[in-house]
A and B are shown apart, each in its own frame.
Chain A
Amino acid sequence: MQDDYGSIWAYRLKWAYLMLIVTALMSPVFYVMYISFNEFGFGANRYVFTLEWYGVIFSDKLMMNALGWTLSLAVGTTLIAVPMAILAAKFYKATRYKVATVFLLLSPLFVASDIMGSALLVYFKHLNNGFEGLSDMLGNQWFYGWFELGFLTALIGLIIYTLPYSFIVILITMGRYRPQQTEAARACGATGWRAFWDIEFPQIRAGVFSACAFTVILCFNEYTRTSLLKGGFDTFTTVLVSQMLNEGMSEQSYAMSSFVSFIAIAVIGGIILYTLVRSDALSREARAKAEPVMAQ
């Protein structure tokens, strides 16, 4: 507690409120996890703990195929969207037109996902027709199928979706970075790239890794855009949702959902834990070194 004159009960109340919010948000996830360990699945009168469903999720070909597609999309999106977000954040720091830049970069967030997804669907259909028309004009088939619904179109949709989030996460860590350090590196003989890689990147690394983790999670989370732009319900979320709507969720589905949640929590928790441990180690190191050199 920072405020010496603050009430201890107000302080405890704030913590209780925080815990309540977290519990409310996470309860459904914990409930799914709870069910995933029940031998008799959802709605059964008996609860017998088992890991059986986790054992069989990898034998569900439909689910594994969906997981593969989503992982591919997540990796592709991360590899493209995060570097784009870094460039955008660097541009933001350099430009005088900050409000306009932020508005343009965040504008995809202001459009409802259904509308954005269907707009992209129509756009890609027309683009594909245009490219095919171009091929017809040229008398070949070079441009056929470039923008048919599939991996590429879903990838573009996910990049548009995740880029603003990555941008914000990276911008926050970049906010503490002083551009004079880049200039100092240049004055030491570093090229622009070396100055970025040696000096700036290590200082924004936490933000970049967080943006990567966030992007992967968003890709797993996304339903509307992927279902509209991927062509066919064969990604992780679309398979889960369609299974649930058509047949109800199977025990494997609960296990798979829990498995993905465990991974997400482990990744985020790992980042937080690493940050805490590292910051604690740095403080201890700083305290140890704070002894005057003469005294050593």
Chain B
Amino acid sequence: MDAKRPAAVEVSNLAKHYGPVVALKNVDLTIEAGEYFVLLGPSGGGKTTLLRTIGGFHKPTAGKVILHGQDVSGLPPDKRPTSMVFQSYALFPHMTVAQNVGYGLTLTRQPREEIRLRTEAMLDMVGLTGYGERRPHELSGGQQQRVQLARSLVLDRDILLLDEPLAALDAKLRKDMCLELKHLQEKVGITFVHVTHNQEEAMTIADRIALIADGELVEEGTARDIYEAPQKRFTADFVGENNLLSGKAASVTEDGVDVDLGSGTIRVDRRGLQVAQGDDVWVSIRSELLQLGAGEGGRSLPATYRETVYLGLTTSHLVSLGNGVELSVRVVSSADAAPVAPGTAVEVSWAPGAARLHVS
């Protein structure tokens, strides 16, 4: 990254309150220019509020929004170097597709021919050549979303904000559009800030992901970091299919912690975390890293087999520990072993490093 180039988006100590309701709590975030950045989190967590505050649709209660080094906290949306794609399409129904796409250009009093050429080029880019004379209601959901993209991208703004742009599409179309969005961003090279609650969508497109929940920035990192090495308990719980176990630190050494889960004691890496004997801790193990069968001491637990859930590509085996906590063991269906009868005593085990310790 160019050290002299200011970040595309810098959010500093940003807070947004609606009366007694706190939607954002002192969020600090930096998004580099040209990044595809995803704000991921559960519904009502504050990610859309954050996006809309960056876009100028909400005025922050406290803190600053800096875009390309300029403080824009007090500016309305039309004065910011951003454009936005909305979940609900928000196309102008009384205008044709071409008029929708060219609307922003007409506001800047560009020559008519210039508007026509740029509109056509942008429709071509989003794969809607020949649709210019149609009305929005004559298009499918996916096509309408492409029109929104074209309408935003034609403005040549540096930052594109996308508020759950794929949420209204069916699963297949969403998957296709995910990749298209990613390729489009690579093509135009501007900063995309994308809000979603769908982790698969986030994993597919993001250069970096920030997890937002309860108005706070929980954790940020690359998709791989967030999925494979979550730092916080919430991240482990929200991203992927993790088994989250709560317990107490029974003994602590420089390298590892023995965690008493109530149904057995397991050994996990300490990862440099501040933890003392007797502290409440959590352990997460991704379901695909668990296996049915005996393992080494400290990396296995006795359990009772409950049921099998066939999911197509994968199959989940549900087992319960002695204290009633349920675990999911996920395997690729084609490699799945012979079925186990419910009620059978089994052992679940995992490889070294698969279990992660969390203290918060």
Residues of A within 8 A of B (CB): 178, 180-181, 183-192, 194, 198-199, 202-203, 285-286, 289-290, 293, 296
Contact = CB atoms under 8 A, between A and B. Distances in A.
Contacts of B130: 293, 296
Contacts of A202: 94
B70 interface: no
A189 B155 contact: yes
A188 B155 contact: yes
B311 interface: no
B90 A189 contact: no
A14 B134 CA distance: 39
B94 A188 contact: no
Given A199-B92, A290-B138, A293-B130, A191 B86 contact: no
26 contacts: A180-B86, A180-B88, A181-B92, A183-B86, A184-B90, A184-B91, A184-B92, A184-B148, A184-B151, A187-B78, A187-B83, A187-B152, A188-B78, A188-B83, A188-B107, A189-B78, A190-B107, A192-B76, A194-B107, A198-B92, A199-B92, A286-B135, A289-B138, A290-B138, A293-B131, A296-B130
B138 A183 contact: no
Contacts of B108: 189
Interface string B120-153: 0000000000110111011000000000100110
Contacts of B138: 286, 289-290
A199 B82 CA distance: 20
Contacts of A188: 78, 83, 103-104, 107, 151-152, 155
A203 B84 contact: no
Given A194-B107, A289-B135, A185 B92 contact: yes
B302 interface: no
Contacts of B161: 187
Contacts of A290: 138
A183 B57 contact: yes
Contact of A184 (B76, B84, B94): B84
Interface string B34-63: 000000000000000000000111000000
A181 B90 contact: yes
B93 interface: yes
B77 A186 contact: yes
A202 B95 CA distance: 10
A190 B78 contact: yes
Contacts of A203: 93-94
Nearest to B101: A188
A266 B138 CA distance: 34
Interface in B70-90: 76-78, 82-84, 86, 88, 90
Contacts of A194: 107
Chain A contact surface mostly? helix
Nearest to B128: A293
Contacts of A181: 90-92
Given A187-B152, A199-B92, A286-B135, 10 more contacts: A181-B91, A185-B103, A187-B83, A188-B78, A188-B107, A189-B78, A190-B104, A198-B92, A286-B137, A290-B138
B155 A178 contact: no
B199 to A, nearest CB: 25
Nearest to B104: A188
Given A185-B92, A187-B84, A194-B107, A289 B77 contact: no
Nearest to A194: B107
Contacts of B76: 186, 192
Contact of B86 (A184, A189, A293): A184
A181 B138 CA distance: 18
Nearest to A288: B138
Contacts of A183: 57, 77, 84, 86, 90
Contacts of B83: 187-188
A125 to B, nearest CB: 44
Nearest to A203: B94
Nearest to A176: B93
Contacts of B78: 186-191
Contacts of B55: 187
B103 to A, nearest CB: 5
A289 B93 CA distance: 15
Nearest to A296: B130
Contacts of A184: 84, 86, 90-92, 148, 151
A290 B140 CA distance: 11
B131 A187 contact: no
A183 B94 CA distance: 16
A237 B92 CA distance: 44
Most buried by A among B88, B107, B137, B151: B107
B74 to A, nearest CB: 15
Contacts of A187: 55, 77-78, 82-84, 152, 161
Q: Which 6 A-B pairs give the minimum distances between C-beta atoms?
A: A188-B104, A184-B90, A180-B90, A187-B84, A186-B77, A293-B130
Contacts of A192: 76
Contacts of B91: 181, 184
Contacts of A286: 135, 137-138
